[in-house]
Amino acid sequence: MRTPLLGWFCGVALIGCAVLAAFAYLGRSSGQAVMPVRPPGPPRETGLAGTAFAVAPGVLVTNTHVTQGCRRQGRAIQVSGLGGAWQVLAEDPETDLALLGFSAGTPLGGPAPGDTVLPVSSARLLPRGTPVMTLGYPIEGASGRLHSATGQVLRAALTIHDPAAGRGASFVAQNQRGQEVVATWDDGLRYFGAQQADRLHWMLEIDAVVSEGNSGGPVLDGAGNVVGVVYAGDRQRRLTAVVPLDDLRALLRRADIVPRFGVRSLAANPDWSAVRTGAAPAVHRVFC
């Protein structure tokens, strides 16, 4: 049985039982990453698509649904504060990650080797309860300013999502007493069907609340290391879906990009003001 619940969907399956949640991507329109239409003319920062962050000199990380949205509009990707021609170096629609590269032959300045880049955590696992911070540029309500939100890692969940359609689905396994238990890969195959095996991925759910325009923004630990990438969320349930470290590191390896790695923070109460100050220069508004 599946009952609609304010834009999310809950259901029961005999795993014990599984709660299904449909994430909406953080684009401008309801449930889809659709870029707003602008009149012809020079690029303007009102045509926002999302957020990106520098992970290596001249290389930015964002979401595939951001780059696809610009492509559907037939508009070039622009990065606020970093002029020049930007191009998509790599896309992985299954994990909703994309890499942007700066074309070095253009006359305007992109990131220089000395510019701020964010270190990627070297942690193998991210325990539940890990304190995290998101950074991004919401479309509305923040006057174009960088926005931060803090929370913690709630769980890892299995998901299937489709950036082109602007929707994703995940489930949380529960036992017969209604208590949450850790789902396994086999649980995911039983729930979604074995035919979906190639599309099944892990994601993280955090309770740091984000808004439209935060797509592609970094999720940081208390040491300022990237531990994930925002791609979807639901403000009403105060949950945000995050692409995990393994998927980000795998895409960087395939693109032959070596990031700077950092040791994860063990602090229970990080200095978030210092984390934000240190990371802010590497986080950029993306628009088209």
For the segment 142-166, what is each residue's pLDDT rounded down to a tens digit? Answer: 567 899 999 999 988 888 877 666 6
Residue 124: band (very low, low, confident or very high) from pLDDT cuts 50, 70, 90: confident
Domains and CATH numbers, the chain: 43-156+203-287 (2.40.10.120)
What distance in Å separates the CA atoms of residue 106 and residue 119, rounded to the nearest whole number?
27
> What SS3 class is residue 228?
strand
- Averaged pLDDT for residues 29-45: 31
What distance in Å separates the CA atoms of residue 118 and residue 120, rounded to the nearest whole number?
6
User: Interior CA angle at 174 toward 173 and 175, to 5°?
Assistant: 135
Residue linked to tokens 């300045």:
109
Q: Is 12 exposed, middle or buried (0-12, 13-18, 19+ CB in 10 A)?
A: middle
Q: Which one-letter amino acid corresponds to residue 205?
A: E
Burial readout 127-140 (b: 16 or more C-beta within 10 A, e: otherwise):
eeebbbbbbbbbbe
- Averaged pLDDT for residues 71-81: 85
For the segment 212-265, what is each residue's pLDDT rounded down to a tens digit? Answer: 889 999 999 999 999 999 988 777 778 898 999 999 999 999 999 989 999 877
For the segment 159-190, what is each residue's pLDDT rounded down to a tens digit? Answer: 887 766 666 777 777 777 777 777 778 888 88
Instruction: State which H helix or E strand residue 81 sits in.
Output: none
From first CA to last CA, the distance across the chain in angstroms is 41
Closest Cα partner for 284 from 211, 216, 210? 216
Most confidently modeled of 46-60, 99-113, 135-149, 268-282? 268-282
Give this prediction's pTM.
Answer: 0.79
Q: Where are the beta strands (DSSP E) in the chain?
A: 2-5, 8-11, 17-25, 48-56, 59-62, 78-79, 86-92, 97-102, 120-121, 131-136, 147-162, 167-174, 201-206, 218-220, 226-234, 239-244, 261-262, 283-287
